[in-house]
Amino acid sequence: MPKQPSVPLTPPVSLASLLAREDLELRQIAGPTGTGTVLHGAHASEMADPYPYLLGGELLLTAGVHIPEAAGSGTYFDDYVSRIVAAGGAALGFGVAPVHDTVPRALVAACEAYELPLLEVPPRTTFAAVGRAVWDLMEGARTAELRRVTEAQQGLASAASRPDPVPSVLRQLARRVGGRAVLYGPEGTQIAAAGRVPGAENPAAVAAEGALAGLARQLVARGSATASDTVPSGIHLAAYALGAGRGRVLGVAAPRREPGDHTIASVAAVLLSLLTGEERSGSGAARSSALVRLLLGSPPEEVAPLLGADRWLVVHARPEPRAPDPVAASALGAALGSPLVDLAAGVVRVLVPADREPGALPGWTLGVSAAVAAERLAAGDGQAGRALARARAIRAPLVRHRGRAGLAELVAADEAREHASALLAPLGVSPALPETLRTWLSLHGSWDRTAVALGVHRNTVRQRIARCAALLGADLDDPDVRMELWFALRVIGQ
C-alpha cells in the first residue's frame, strides 16, 4: 500500500507545468503521461532504498550513484522502482551526468512496468535548479490559491449582506467550489440548495447527493464539527455543523478537492451559522420585537411575555480582579442561560428567568435580586447592585437579596417614600453620598469593607460619611439614627 502524501502548507503543482519549463529541458521518457500527476516537492537521494526518506508525492532526483555495475541483469531496478512507488513517490528524475551517459534501459522498463513517470535530466540542468523550479511553482500555486480564497471570502461576505442571504451564500459557495451546496435541517431535511453535482443527469451524481444527505445525518448523530468522504464516482463530499446542538448542516459536493476549498466552505459555514442562528429567528426575533416595542413606548409588563418569562432575577456580576469585557459578558450570559446581557460601568447585568436559579461561577462575583415582575425590574436592579456590593465586601462568590416582610412594610409605600425623600434630601448635593452611606450601613460601619465594595480608599469613605453626618445633622453612631436612615435608603432604592 503506497504512502499517502503528507500534505504541505503549499498546494501541489502538476508534473506537466514542470515539464513546460523550457529552461530546464526536462524530458519524460517513461511512465504514463497526461494523467494529472502532481508534485508535493522535490528530493535528491542516492540511497539504494529511498523509501525511508520520502514523505510521498515527491519528484525523486538521482544521478544513479547507487546503481551497481551488474544491475541491468538482475532485479535491482524493479526493486528500486517498486520501493519508490510504495513510498508514494510521484515521479523519478534521472541525471545523465556525470555517472551515467544515458538512462539505463532496465530503469526505463521498470518505470513503464510500475507506471512511474521517469524524467531525463540533461547534463546542464542541476538538481538544485529542478528543486528550485518545483518550489517556485508551488509558491506561485500558493499565491494563486490564497488569492482565490480571499476573493471567495469577499464574495461570501457580500452575499451574506443581500436581502436573500442564505440562498446567496449557497450560490456563491457552489460557484467557488464548482459543485453543489446544500443547507440541511434536523434529520437531514433539505432547507435550501444551490449549484449542481457535476454530471447531475448521471445516476452516480444522484447517488452522490443521497450520500451527502447521509453524511449530514451522520455528522449530527456523532456530534462532530466536520466530516468528509469520496464516493466511488470520484465526487468529494464534505459536511460542516452549523452551531452547537441546532442540527443544521452545510453539505458540499464537488468534482475535485482544492487545498483552499475547506477554508472557503468553513467561512460559508460560519456565515450560515450567523444567518440561521437564534438571533435571526425564534427567541432572537422575540427579543428584537421586545426592544422595538420598548423604544416605541410600550410598558415593560406588556413586553415581558415576548421574552419568555413573567418574573425575573436581575444579576449583577464582576470578574475578579479585572474589569469585564464584551467576550466575558457574553460567556457569563451563556453560563447563566440567558442572552439578555448588558455591560456598562464595569458591571455585567443579566436578566435571568426566575425559574433558573443562578449558582456561583468560578472567577465571578455575583449579586442576585429577588424574583420580580417586569414592572419592578428597576427595583430588582437596585437589589442586585446592593447584593453585588455586599458580596465583594465580604469576598463571597454570590450574595442573594432576601426580601421579606418586616417593620418597613407596616408603613404605606407612598408615605414611606415621601418621608425617605425628605430625610435624605440634604444628601442630594452629591450622588456618591447616598450610595456610600447605604454601603457603609449594610456593612455595619466597616471602613475597610466599604472601601473595597466601592473601589475607593478608606479615607474617602471616612470623608464621605463625615459629610453625610454634617449634612443630615445626625449622629451616625446612634443605632436608632442608623436604622431610620437604612429604612429610608431601602425605600429610595426600590
Summarize the confidence of residues 338-356 as an average pLDDT: 85
Q: Sign of the C-alpha dihedral, residues 408, 409, 414, 415? A: negative
In 168-319, beta strands by DSSP E: 180-184, 190-195, 226-230, 236-242, 248-254, 311-319
CATH, domain range 161-279: 3.30.450.30
Confidence of residue 9 (pLDDT cuts 50, 70, 90): low
CATH label, 407-493, candidates 3.30.300.30, 1.10.357.10, 1.10.10.2840, 3.40.50.10900? 1.10.10.2840
Angstrom distance (rounded) from CA 293 to CA 281: 17
Whether the predicted pLDDT of 7 surpasses 50: no
The pLDDT of 186-196, averaged and rounded, is 83
The DSSP code for 290 is H
Burial (CB count <10 Å: 0-12, 13-18, 19+), residue 336:
buried
Name every residue whose Cβ is closer than 8 Å to that of residue 111 and which is 6 or more positions away in sequence: 30, 31, 81, 92, 117, 118
Sequence-distant (≥ 6) Cβ neighbours of residue 175 within 8 angstroms: 195
Side by side, which strands form the sheet with 91-95? Answer: 27-30, 118-121, 91-95, 58-62, 41-44
CB 107 within 8 A of CB 75: no
Please give the mean pLDDT across all residues of the chain.
Answer: 84
Confidence of residue 466 (pLDDT cuts 50, 70, 90): very high
Q: Which of 258 and 413 is assigned the larger pLDDT?
A: 258
pLDDT tens for each residue of 136-175: 999 998 888 889 889 998 988 888 877 778 889 999 999 9
pLDDT 10s digits, 43-95:
999 999 999 999 999 999 999 999 988 777 789 999 999 999 999 999 999 99
Q: What is the CATH number of domain 13-138?
A: 3.40.1390.20
In the chain, the N- to C-terminal Cα span, in Å, equals 77
* CB 277 within 8 Å of CB 345: no
Instruction: Give the Cα separation of 439 and 456 in Å (integer).
Output: 12
User: What pTM was computed for the model?
Assistant: 0.49
Torsion of CA 99, 103, 104, 109, to 10 degrees: 150
SS3 state of residue 138: helix
Cell of 243: 452551531
Which residue do the cell numbers 525511508 mark? Answer: 52
Beta strands at 364-368 and 398-400: parallel, antiparallel or unpaired:
parallel
Cα distance between residue 390 and residue 366, in whole Å: 10
Residue 346, sorted as left (phi over 0), alpha (psi -120 to 50) or beta, turns out to be: left
Cβ neighbours, 10 Å, residue 146: 15
**Gap between the Cα atoms of 186 and 190, Å rounded:** 9
Q: Find where cell 436612615 sits.
A: 485
Using CB atoms within 10 Å of the CB of residue 330, give its burial: 0 to 12 exposed, 13 to 18 middle, 19+ buried: middle
pLDDT at site 61 = 96
